[in-house]
Amino acid sequence: MTRKPSLKDIAQTVGVSTTLVSYVLNNQKENRISKVVAQKIREVAQALNYRPNQIAKSLKTNKTFTIGLVVADISNPFSSSLARIIEDEAEKYDYTVLFGSSDEKPRKAQKLISTLLDRQVDGLLIFPSEGAEPQLIELQKQGIPFVLIDRYFPDLKTSYVALDNYASIYKAVQHLIDSGYRRIGMVTFDTALFNIMERKRGYLSALKANKIPVRKTLVKELRMDAEGADIAKAVGELLTGTKPVDAILFASNTLALYGLQQINALHLSVPEQVAVVSIDQAESYNLFHTSVTYIRQPLVEMGQLATKILLESIKKNNTITQANLEGELVIQDSTRPVDG
């Protein structure tokens, strides 16, 4: 077996000390090292196919330079987009991201977190599932750095980065009202997750502020694992009968995708017969015959900020950082003003 090149081999080739080679390859004391020498060391390291001993490095620094990411569902465009942003941001600081999906199941989330901790990750970024509080409290007791993304628990003092769901939904409903819509339905999830509850609260507050009666029959709350048929049924109930809604607000992109399919199946025109607003963008919206108004979440800011907060926490900075970011209402044809 060919012997792996070492720091000593690089040092002997360049004619410098192994300590200097270590400084350069670990980006240390850069202002005290000649740029010419540093460049030569990197060129020789590359030519020799030098690969650092990560085990030895982690023993020395007490870090593995890996972070764990637990998302709800990596196949969801929201989760996959954020995962990529986090991966790119972590790479700037020489960190690698290991990730998996919880599928909104606390037991699976716990197993995934345990596996990541067994891999000695330095910290965790978590999209918590409903009922995850005990898991998070245990992580706090163990002193494991973590930051919540997208969801958080107001009674639990933790770092998090999330959308201001209440304000975002309020803005969307106000836009519908300003455009002339009055019978506004909502399709959401029946869950104790705070972000989803805040979306419903924003919807109800906007109606009340505009003195529009709140009708329980216009709010359809589905299980988190609701299938396409369940969503189609809820949308169908809102759009049929003697007093159908004239607008629907979908509380997630998954609900919106199945909802739009049902609107198509009912041969309804958007927005002439029903206006549509969704939270989050999805490429599938582009296949719909009318451009869909949606709330754009600040994914880049969310992913970058959460990663930076976690890396600061890993450095033993024990401060709690909490951020609620503003969403942008992207107004398109699906909410054109009602004529007359």
Lowest mean pLDDT among 5-9, 244-248, 253-257, 269-273: 5-9
Average pLDDT value for the chain: 90
Could you read off the pLDDT of 258-298 as tens digits, one per residue? 999 999 999 999 999 999 999 987 776 666 788 999 999 99
Pairing of strands 96-101, 66-71: parallel
Write down the pLDDT at residue 59: 47
Confidence category of residue 53, pLDDT binned at 50, 70, 90: low
- Sorting pLDDT into bands at 50, 70 and 90, what band is 188? very high
With vertex at residue 235, the alpha carbon angle to CA 338 and CA 76, rounded to the nearest 5 degrees, is 105
Residue range 29-46: mean pLDDT, rounded: 83
In this predicted structure, the answer to whether residue 226 has a pLDDT above a threshold of 50 is yes
Q: Answer yes or no: is pLDDT of 248 > 80.
A: yes
**Structural domains of the chain, ranges and CATH numbers in brackets:** 7-52 (1.10.260), 63-163+299-325 (3.40.50.2300), 165-297+329-335 (3.40.50.2300)
Rg of the chain over all Cα atoms, to the nearest angstrom: 25
CA dihedral 81, 85, 87, 92 (to 10 degrees): 170
What is the rounded distance in angstroms from the CA atom of residue 100 to the CA atom of residue 201? 31
pLDDT in tens, 94-133: 999 999 999 988 889 999 999 999 888 999 999 999 889 9
* Window from 40-49, 154-163, 254-263, 270-279 with minimum mean pLDDT: 40-49
What's residue 201's pLDDT? 98
| 301: exposed, middle or buried (Cβ count in 10 Å: 0-12, 13-18, 19+) | middle
> Can you give the pTM of this predicted structure?
0.80
pLDDT tens readout for residues 299-309 = 999 999 999 99
